[in-house]
Amino acid sequence: AQKVTQAQTEISVVEKEDVTLDCVYETRDTTYYLFWYKQPPSGELVFLIRRNSFDEQNEISGRYSWNFQKSTSSFNFTITASQVVDSAVYFCALSYNRGGSNYKLTFGKGTLLTVNP
């Protein structure tokens, strides 16, 4: 069985602070994929990143960075110099390869990030 845990239900920061959203996953698969999605107030889930289990390189995209550590089964997401527009619910998700059904995502409960001016 797969499971994703986002222990932080809500985080509140002041603009320009750095913030890290934690994600811990459980899976018995050797090949799997990890995702982060952002849900702004408009409601849709916006794709941020996808990582496969064989690629442990950390990634940086502008103010966003992701730290994937298989040893601790974690895929944490850091926003540097946060902005008010970063306020949203962030979901970590996991999927696996089962005969073509790659995208049966298992989501965490999400972390509500509020960035105050």
Partner 1 sequence: EAGVTQFPSHSVIEKGQTVTLRCDPISGHDNLYWYRRVMGKEIKFLLHFVKESKQDESGMPNNRFLAERTGGTYSTLKVQPAELEDSGVYFCASSPRGFNEKLFFGSGTQLSVL
- For binding to partner 1 (CB under 8 A), which residues are involved? 4, 35, 37, 42-47, 50, 91, 93, 100-110
Pick the closer one to partner 1 by CB: 15 or 107: 107
Pick the closer one to partner 1 by CB: 6 or 82: 6
Q: How far is the CB of 93 from partner 1 (least distance, A)?
A: 8
Contact (CB, 8 A) for 79 and 86: yes
Q: How far is the CB of 67 from partner 1 (least distance, A)?
A: 20
Pick the closer one to partner 1 by CB: 47 or 60: 47
Please provide the DSSP assignment of the chain as one string: --EEE---SEEEEETT--EEE--EEE-S-SSEEEEEEEE-TT---EEEEEEETT----EEETTEEEEEEGGGTEEEEEESS--GGG-EEEEEEEEE-STT-TT--EE---EEEEEE-
Nearest to 32 by CA among 3, 58, 5, 9: 3
Pick the closer one to partner 1 by CB: 16 or 47: 47
Q: How far is the CB of 22 from partner 1 (least distance, A)?
A: 16
